Amino acid sequence: MADDDTNSSTSSLFSFPSSTTISAAENNNVRCVGRSGNCVTWGCTSVIGLRKEMEDAVKVVPGFMMRRCNHVGGCIAAPPSDALAPVHFFAVYDGHGGAQVAKFCELRMHEVVAEEWDQETVAEDEWHHKWEVILARSFERADNEILTNAVASEMVGSTAVVVLLSGCQIITSNCGDSRAVLCRGTETIPLSIDQKPDREDELARIEDQGGHVIYWNGARVFGVLSMSRAIGNFFF
């Protein structure tokens, strides 16, 4: 992902000073990419590998919401603006057992996230907390809709990694072991932490709920699932 206005995007996108640590003079020099009206430049590629059916899905929705940048991500540019700026949606869904759950997420997740944003009553100034609530609830709601609509058998599931790009922030959320990584020059910066069955906290959570992790070509829940969380997979 990159913004058209790459010369100015680096400082405003990738530094996160709080309002207490940036002077007014400095603040006037920080541009909000979201207010520039430029679109994002993006690309994607998928490789099917050895499987007969592609079980993964990618979804990109530039400008999937128009909101005040300060409300979705604590805009660091001055002066504050009431102008609406685009928020961009990027997601990868790594399906397993079939493609149905990944395809459902591809069609539905961005709509659910936008609906949850509008319904959530957490003050928009508390944008960190608001995104935590919204993304957790969006994943849970997609999971419930898949069950309610009998989208797939109980053995079919998908990971999800969602990235929301506002003018001033990158917000990421993941379920399972798909990753978001920020590449900046020669640096690679992880933006998500895999949820794997042999992670200490995840192993404890699985066992507390009566599950077991069996090592069968790596750590797997009941010897099957190689990630500790997924959308779908109601058998687990």
In 3D, which of 163, 174, 191, 192 has the Cα closest to residue 64?
163
Q: Which of 65, 69, 113, 162 binds Zn ion (CB under 5 A)?
A: 69
Region binding Zn ion by CB under 5 A among candidate stretches 29-37, 138-146, 182-190, 194-202: 29-37
Give me the least distance between CB of 76 and Zn ion, in Å please.
Answer: 7
Region binding Zn ion by CB under 5 A among candidate stretches 28-36, 102-110, 148-156, 211-219: 28-36
Give me the least distance between CB of 164 and Zn ion, in Å please.
Answer: 13
**Whole-angstrom Cα distance, residue 80 to residue 167?**
13
Here's the x/- map for Zn ion, 75-114, by CB under 5 A: it reads as x---------------------------------------
Of residues 78 and 122, the one with the C-beta less far from Zn ion: 78
Of residues 32 and 101, the one with the C-beta less far from Zn ion: 32
Q: Which of 3, 13, 31, 32 binds Zn ion (CB under 5 A)?
A: 32
Give me the least distance between CB of 133 and Zn ion, in Å please.
Answer: 21
Q: Which of 3, 9, 13, 34 binds Zn ion (CB under 5 A)?
A: 34
Of residues 167 and 176, the one with the C-beta less far from Zn ion: 167
* SS3 per residue for the chain: CEECCHHHHHHHHHCCCCCCCCCHHHHHHCCCHHHHCCCEECCCCCCCCCCCCCCEEEEEEEEEEEEEHHHHHCCCCCCCCCCEEEEEEEEEEEEECCCHHHHHHHHHHHHHHHHHHHHCCCCCCCHHHHHHHHHHHHHHHHHHHHHHCCCCCCCCEECEEEEEECCCCEEEEEECCCCCEEEECCEEEECCCCCCCCCHHHHHHHHHCCCCEEECCCEEECCCECCCCCEECCCC
Give me the least distance between CB of 35 and Zn ion, in Å please.
Answer: 6
Here's the x/- map for Zn ion, 161-180, by CB under 5 A: it reads as ------xx------------
Region binding Zn ion by CB under 5 A among candidate stretches 27-35, 60-68, 117-125, 148-156: 27-35
**Whole-angstrom Cα distance, residue 179 to residue 137?**
20
Of residues 87 and 161, the one with the C-beta less far from Zn ion: 87
In the complex, the residues that contact Zn ion under the rule CB under 5 A are 32, 34, 69, 75, 167-168
